[in-house]
A = this chain, B = another copy of it.
Amino acid sequence: MSNVELDQLRQKVDEMNLQLLDVINQRAELVQEIGRVKEKQGVNKFEPVRERAMLDLLAENNKGPFLNSTIEHIFKEIFKAGLELQKDDHRKALLV
């Protein structure tokens, strides 16, 4: 396979990266919205049961090539980042 074909594969990876970026940020906006709702309701932001349910749904739907353990690791990072965003919003809300 030539380097032209390698470049084509890489271009597809870049396109997928941008697609992921888009969905990850859309998801973050939803998580912020959920944070605002919980803030009003005075509910705890981090719910391990909900996190487990999300991971289980992902494992059920995972067709690979990534193993469930890898998917779980990646998504836990995404969840953690979302939680940090909610905390930042909370801090900003307190400063207003």
Point out residues on A near B: beta carbons under 8 Å.
Answer: 1, 5-6, 9-10, 12-14, 16-21, 23-34, 37-38, 40-41, 50, 54, 57-58, 61-66, 70-71, 73-75, 77-78, 81, 84-85
Contact of A18 among B30, B50, B58 (CB under 8 A): B58
- Copies of chain A in the complex: 2
Residues of B within 8 A of A26 (CB): 16
Q: Is the CB of B25 within 8 A of A12?
A: no
Residues of B within 8 A of A73 (CB): 77, 81
Q: Is the CB of B10 within 8 A of A50?
A: yes
Q: In the complex, which residue of chain B has the Cβ closest to the Cβ of A84?
A: B70
Q: Is the CB of B19 within 8 A of A23?
A: yes
Residues of B within 8 A of A63 (CB): 25
